[in-house]
């Protein structure tokens, strides 16, 4: 009789396991909001579990997951390729910028230190270009430099100076030969009104302004006393401001 109890226990255990498995599959399938009620009934109908259908659905889900993974991998490869191309373009741009900076430095160096041998070969010196800086004439005296507007800190960069004065150039620096100093002057012209309208940028950094109360009606700027500047590392810094008045 013992073997009847063993057989019954085995059958009861199998049945309980089957019912628990069916319940577990049913709970999992219900959590999948993508599946319709018909698909759920095909997998689990009450306590009836369609094992072959479950295996088929699992295979389909696995294949779908593999396809998604392959699509994501292709997308990541495309992004990686684009990043590589962007990095190459950035590197090429950086090299181009470095080359341009090197050329610019070379040009500035040649302009600051012109080749004296070429000057000896030329009987008649050519007219200076507008961007030549700190050039020495035949008497070894520095020529004047003209500027439109000072920097915010009240200084003038040598490289921004022009050797030729035009109506838009309001300031002139005349270097003192043999020293690092120069005379700063304000040049009045037909663009004085623009300087008055933008007095904080044009005048206040390098000028002591008289008659500021007449700013609204003034149309001209007249220099009263010139100022002075000191050159340091290619930059002219104001030592004494120019005194001007509004008229």
- Tens digits of residue pLDDT in 184-220: 999 999 899 999 999 999 999 999 999 998 898 999 9
Mean pLDDT highest for which of 59-73, 81-95, 99-113, 150-164? 150-164
Q: How far is CA 180 from the centre of its chain?
A: 37
Q: Which residue has the higher pLDDT, 1 or 191?
A: 191
Q: How many alpha carbons lie under 13 Å from residue 85 in its C-beta half-sphere? A: 6
Is residue 165 predicted with pLDDT exceeding 60?
yes
DSSP state for residue 160 in the 8-state scheme? G
- Tens digits of residue pLDDT in 116-159: 444 444 444 444 444 444 444 433 446 899 999 999 999 999 99
Q: Which H or E element spans position 163? A: none
Which long-range contacts link 134-138 to residues 24+ away (Cβ below 8 Å)?
134/158, 134/175, 135/111, 135/163
Is residue 233 predicted with pLDDT exceeding 70?
yes
Per-residue confidence (pLDDT) for residue 73, from 0 to 100: 84
Q: CA dihedral defined by 151, 157, 162, 165, rounded to 10 degrees?
A: 40
Q: What is the mean pLDDT of residues 50-76?
A: 75
- Round to whole Å and give the CA distance between 78 and 206: 57
pTM score? 0.45
Is residue 45 predicted with pLDDT exceeding 70?
no
Per-residue confidence (pLDDT) for residue 2, from 0 to 100: 64
- Round to whole Å and give the CA distance between 218 and 195: 11
Locate the domains of the chain by residue range: 131-246
Which pair of structure tokens corresponds to residue 138?
A: 């035949």
Q: Which residue has the higher pLDDT, 62 or 42?
A: 62
Contacts of 163 (CB under 8 A, 6+ apart): 128, 129, 130, 132, 135, 143, 144, 145, 146
């Amino acid at each position: 009789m013992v073997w009847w109890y063993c057989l019954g226990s085995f059958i009861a255990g199998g049945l309980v396991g089957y019912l628990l498995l069916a319940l577990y599959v049913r709970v999992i399938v219900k959590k999948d909001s993508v599946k319709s009620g018909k698909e759920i009934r095909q997998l689990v109908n009450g306590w009836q579990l369609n094992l072959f259908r479950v295996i088929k659905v699992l295979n389909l889900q696995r294949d779908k997951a593999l396809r998604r993974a392959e699509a994501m991998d292709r997308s990541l490869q495309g992004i990686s390729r684009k990043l590589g191309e962007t990095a190459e373009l950035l590197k090429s741009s950086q090299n181009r910028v470095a080359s341009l900076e090197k050329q610019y430095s070379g040009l500035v160096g040649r302009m600051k230190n012109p080749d004296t041998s070429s000057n000896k070969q030329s009987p008649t010196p050519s007219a200076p270009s507008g961007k030549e800086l700190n050039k020495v004439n035949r008497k070894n005296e520095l020529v004047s430099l003209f500027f439109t507007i000072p920097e915010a800190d009240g200084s003038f960069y040598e490289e921004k100076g022009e050797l030729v004065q035009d109506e838009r150039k309001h300031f002139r620096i005349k270097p003192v030969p043999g020293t690092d100093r120069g005379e700063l002057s304000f040049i009045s012209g037909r663009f004085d009104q623009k300087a008055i309208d933008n007095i904080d940028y044009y005048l206040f950094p390098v000028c002591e302004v008289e008659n500021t109360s007449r700013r609204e009606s003034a149309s001209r700027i007249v220099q009263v006393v010139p100022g002075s500047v000191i050159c340091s590392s290619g930059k002219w810094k104001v030592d004494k401001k120019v005194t001007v008045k509004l008229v």
